[in-house]
Amino acid sequence: MVPSSSHLIFLYFFILISATATIATDHIVGANKGWNPGINYTLWANNQTFYVGDLISFRYQKSQYNVFEVNQTGYDNCTTEGAVGNWSKGKDFIPLNKAKRYYFICGNGQCFNGMKVSVLVHPLPSPPSSSVSANKTSTDSAAPVALRKGLVRFRALVLAFASIWFGSGWI
């Protein structure tokens, strides 16, 4: 079967969208070592750059460990009192939606064995400036966030549509 011109255009568009860099980053805590006692998570976190919209992922034995998001006091003292979130599935994907410092600990006592990590999430970087953009108003500062969210949603829509189209034998 010879593809029609509309199929070729869509295929080109699909490849173009798929080839774009992934905007959000999934930071897997501890990389290949995962979420386990005796690992220097401060060193791991210091080698990462976190931005609003990224994910932090914890991978661990769900029967042994868990994850709590706590405040700085909870982090410093390894306590879950006043925790703002907790996870225990073993593969936990936590969105980093605000520019701030996040604190995570293991709530079953392993925090004292090093199972705690603090990450600083930065605002999204501004696009490269030019002499024209230097004269824009401050209301344009929300544009990168909206653009990023729009691109992520658009890309997901295109990928979903393409998987249905190509996967069902329409062409």
For the residues of 69-112, what is the DSSP string, one character each?
A: EE-HHHHHHT--TT-SEEE-SSEEEEE--SSSEEEEE-TTTGGG
In this prediction, residue 20 carries a pLDDT of: 40
Q: What is the pTM of this model?
A: 0.64
Q: In 3D, which of 157, 164, 156, 158 has the Cα closest to residue 23?
A: 156
Q: Do 67 and 86 form a contact (C-beta atoms < 8 A)? A: yes
Per-residue pLDDT of the chain (171 residues; tens, 9 = 90+): 555 555 545 444 444 344 444 488 999 999 999 999 999 999 999 999 999 999 999 999 999 999 999 999 999 999 999 899 999 999 999 999 999 999 999 999 999 999 999 999 999 987 777 655 545 444 444 445 455 555 545 554 444 444 444 444 444
- Going from N- to C-terminal start, the domains of the chain cover 26-122
- Retrieve residue 122's tokens: 């930065």
Q: Which CATH number fits the domain 26-122, given the four candidates 2.60.40.1220, 2.60.40.420, 2.20.25.90, 2.60.40.10? A: 2.60.40.420
Task: Please give the Cα distance from 9 to 17 (Å, whole number).
Answer: 12
How are strands ordered across the β-sheet holding 91-95? 26-28, 55-59, 91-95
